[in-house]
């Protein structure tokens, strides 16, 4: 081949290589530009979030420490487990002072929901009284909300029927089944204020 033919072949080869470079290298890279830009934007957002979290970390640690201290203080204010008997005696005394008759009081192990240094005890009470006395008793139980929760309340009328007196008909006896859970503290620390003198806190008086 002559010089002219070689020149044509060289030009054709250069054009072919240029086309291959464009379609195989340049065009795929251009297609990845939006994807790379989206990745850059995502990483920028994550970087900004990380910096914001890093700036808030000291305050977060202080908040966690404060909440943990408040939690521990709250748990230490629960009645000590060894004084559960006094809590039950206080509950029976509250019933007497409210004017209700405490028929039965039984207890069983409860679920402390995995809270460390806390023991849950389920209580089942059977009481009977007219409604005014029952209302006073339930109001007095509000004083136990610091360390007890009421989970069930069932009321049935008693003293009805032909043999019931006129007073019983107008102010009937109500048989009440009450279930509640009492939480006590099993860890070490300052005992609850209401039990420092050997007696649990008494619930509030009549409304």
Q: What is the mean pLDDT of each run of 10 residues along the chain (207 residues)?
A: 75 83 77 83 91 89 90 81 85 90 89 82 91 90 78 79 58 88 77 42 39
Q: What is the reported pLDDT for 161?
A: 52
Tokens at 156, concatenated: 């049935």
Please tell me whether residues 136 and 111 are part of one structural domain. yes
The arrangement of strands across the sheet holding 118-130 comes to 101-109, 118-130, 173-185, 148-158
- Which tokens is 73 given? 């203080």
196, part of any domain: no
- Exposure of 23 in the CB half-sphere (CA atoms within 13 A): 6
Residues 179 and 166 in one domain: yes
Nearest Cα to Cα of residue 93 among 130, 158, 143, 132: 143
pLDDT score, position 20: 82
| Number of domains the chain contains | 2
Residue 45 lies inside a defined structural domain of this protein: yes
Give the separation between CA 207 and CA 6, rounded to whole angstroms: 113
The two structure tokens encoding residue 26: 């340049």
134: in domain: yes
pLDDT of 194: 43
User: Residues 106-137, buried b or exposed e (16+ Cβ, 10 A)?
Assistant: eeeebebeeeebbbbbebebebbbbeebbbbb
Phi and psi for 25 in degrees, rounded to 5? -120, -60
Question: Are residue 43 and residue 67 in the same domain, yes or no?
Answer: yes
Tell me, yes or no, whether 15 lies in a domain.
yes
Predicted TM-score of the model (pTM): 0.55
Range of the domain at 24: 1-76
């Amino acid at each position: 081949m002559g010089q002219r033919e070689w020149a044509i072949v060289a030009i054709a080869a250069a054009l072919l290589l240029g086309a291959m470079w464009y379609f195989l290298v340049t065009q795929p890279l251009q297609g990845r530009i939006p994807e790379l830009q989206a990745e850059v934007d995502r990483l920028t957002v994550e970087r900004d979030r990380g910096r914001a979290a890093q700036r808030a970390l000291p305050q977060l640690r202080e908040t966690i420490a404060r909440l943990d201290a408040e939690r521990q203080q709250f748990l230490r204010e629960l009645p000590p487990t060894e004084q559960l008997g006094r809590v039950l005696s206080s509950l029976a005394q509250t019933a007497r002072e409210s004017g209700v008759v405490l028929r039965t009081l039984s207890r069983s192990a409860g679920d402390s929901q995995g809270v460390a240094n806390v023991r849950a005890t389920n209580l089942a009470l059977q009481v009977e009284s007219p409604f005014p006395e029952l209302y006073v008793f339930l109001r007095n139980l509000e004083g136990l909300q610091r360390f007890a929760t009421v989970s069930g309340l069932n009321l049935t009328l008693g003293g009805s029927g032909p043999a019931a007196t006129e007073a019983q008909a107008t102010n009937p006896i109500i048989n009440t089944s009450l279930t509640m859970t009492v939480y006590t503290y099993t860890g070490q620390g300052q005992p609850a204020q209401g039990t420092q003198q050997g007696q649990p806190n008494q619930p509030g008086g009549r409304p």
